[in-house]
Structure 1
């Protein structure tokens, strides 16, 4: 069995992080920070033409760096 490359390690980290975030879990990386998902409700916005529209609800990934 060969030693995994840095690229292999990063791909594995991304896979695990994505899966946890999709499941609503928070991912804390010691010495780096915390990834989490926040729900943003729908909101009324105004377009460049002056017409208003509803921006749909969505989930966004947020990152909070660890304070040193």
Structure 2
């Protein structure tokens, strides 16, 4: 029972982070193709907003990889 609950929670987290990653990739693409959108982020402006979003994408990608790897350990 406990393993099924943990697996369900991990699957939900994986789905959420995958959706978030997809949305942020689309946002970064829009920021690169339309440079005026780089100034819409209030705290960071210009190319640094793109770099910041890229860093967030790398972190989310690492979380997704870790979640996928943790499924392998259960088998």
Q: When the two structures are superposed, what TM-score results if normalisation uses the length of structure 2?
A: 0.32
Bigger RCO (CA 8 Å, 6+ sep): 2
Higher percent of residues as helix:
2
Higher percent of residues as strand:
1
Larger Rg: 1
Q: When the two structures are superposed, what TM-score results if normalisation uses the length of structure 1?
A: 0.34
